[in-house]
Amino acid sequence: MINEPLYFLPGENGFKGQILDEFLASGYYRMQHLIFTTNHTTLEPGKESIPVFWLRTEVIKICENKAALAIRKKCLPFTVTCKKAEITTELEELYRLYKNHVDFSASATCWDYLHLDEFDNPYDSRIIEVRDGNCLIAAGYFDLGKNAIAGILNFYHPDYNKFSLGKYLILQKIDYALANGIQYYYTGYISTEITKFDYKLFPDTTAIEVYLPVEKTWVPFALLGKEKLKDYYGNHPE
């Protein structure tokens, strides 16, 4: 079962609050200023598509593993702030350093990743910044609903690889959700064919749910795992 991606344009009230919650709970996710769903993706032009499944984490159920605790300890010297999302020259420079370091294709700029010029931003977005002294070393964007947040983009300075700042930003978004009484943290999709997206299972797979698009329901990821999900679309050809 391979369906073409389905997109929605923002309405008068955008994708904020309860509206965002309802889309996320139905297996949709942000793409620039649109919201969309799909059950497959193509990593490179001309390559065969691979199946994907949407994930969310019920933050109150998280029991952090040793790796998460170790990352928090390593990052204690850094300063973390969360504020209304913006895109600055400083952030664009950090994104450029990150983009030139990673081994996968990425949008040319942070602005291009997040925005379409023909629309005002329809999301209520936040940014988490991590600094070493005055130096910006990591940044993570997320969208805010009423009872959910959706992680959109994380990037970091290549010189700080050993600190696992991508996962540290995940932990910071979880902290935001817990501090604000938010139930779900949506992390995007995972694929049964590759491990590229497996970092989204961090920090506790037992707190994660996976969306089954045929049944239109969320189930605990631990009940299925990637092995059982491999046959899902083949068993649901329509």
Q: What is the pLDDT of residue 102?
A: 81
181-226 pLDDT per residue, tens:
999 999 999 999 999 999 999 999 999 999 999 999 999 999 999 9
Higher pLDDT, 48 or 179: 179
170 sits in which H/E element: helix 165-179
Q: What is the pLDDT of residue 89?
A: 97
6-34 pLDDT per residue, tens:
899 898 899 999 999 999 999 999 999 89
User: What residue type is assigned to position 147 of the chain?
Assistant: N
The pTM of the full predicted model, rounded to 2 decimals, is 0.94
Residue at 121 is within a domain: yes
pLDDT category at 234 given cuts 50, 70, 90 is confident
The backbone torsions φ and ψ at residue 126, rounded to the nearest 5 degrees and listed phi first, read -125, 160
77-99 pLDDT per residue, tens:
999 999 999 999 999 999 999 99
- Domain range for residue 167? 6-235
Q: What is the pLDDT of residue 235?
A: 74
Residue at 61 is within a domain: yes
Residue at 117 is within a domain: yes
Residue at 116 is within a domain: yes
Contact assessment for residue 175 and residue 71, using Cβ atoms and an 8 Å cutoff: no
Residue at 1 is within a domain: no
Q: What is the pLDDT of residue 24?
A: 97
Q: What is the domain count for the chain?
A: 1
Token representation of residue 194: 């590759």
What CATH code is carried by the domain that includes residue 196? 3.40.630.30
Q: What is the pLDDT of residue 204?
A: 97
Q: Are strands 184-191 and 40-41 parallel, antiparallel or unpaired?
A: unpaired
Mean pLDDT value across the chain? 92
